Amino acid sequence: MIRLPAIIILAAASLSLSAQNDPAAVKVLENFSAKATKAPSVSMQFTLETVDQVEGTSNRLKGSAVLSKDRYRIELPENILWYNGENMWSYLPDVEEVTITKPDRNDDSFMAKPSAIFTIWKKNYKSRLLEERTASYLIDLYPEDINSDHVRIRLEIGKAGLDLKGLEYKYKNGITVMLKVTGYDLSYKPDDSEFAFSAAKYRGVEIIDMR
């Protein structure tokens, strides 16, 4: 008969093991991260779908992004975003208006800091290789902070090129954001000017400075 202290020790050991990172997932993530962060930039074309399970609604749109370190340019049908590492410009073509802000550097969500997806797994998350498919890996990231606003992040990483195939954020409020990558390139060398709004290019646009 197992005594109570022994049961407690076994239970604690079990919980400790379940909380550890999956070595198979870490190996894939290390290679994926190294390849993306060593590149001059990551260029992507994607389809972005947002599903609200509470309201029973969904929205889908296509976009593109160029990421270089923490800098980025994201183009969506009704919005263009530039971030040069310090300031962010959000341009709304329909109303010819651009808003300048200083984003929260601690916000690692895809829309706030897209490049974080290549390194976010290194801290504050536990990783698990959910499935190894013929051409890709499915890896889940679980936040260690129980007060996090999301339940998990799911990555689909291609086997051959270690490229990002898909990304899914599942939030506690019933919203799921899914990004399906349709184009992925690591060879493009962007100019610094691509990560800042150009007043000369967009003449007559109203500028709202919220910094």
Task: Mention the CATH class of domain 18-209.
Answer: mainly beta
pLDDT band at 125; cut points 50, 70, 90:
very high
In 77-174, the DSSP E strands lie at 79-83, 88-92, 97-101, 125-132, 136-143, 150-158, 164-171
pLDDT band at 105; cut points 50, 70, 90:
confident
Whether 7 has a pLDDT exceeding 60, the answer reads no
Q: Which amino acid is at 15?
A: L
pLDDT band at 8; cut points 50, 70, 90:
very low
pLDDT band at 110; cut points 50, 70, 90:
low
φ and ψ of 115, to 5 deg: -65, -15
Residues in the chain: 211
For 198, the token pair is 């150009």
Say what percent of the chain tops pLDDT 90.
82
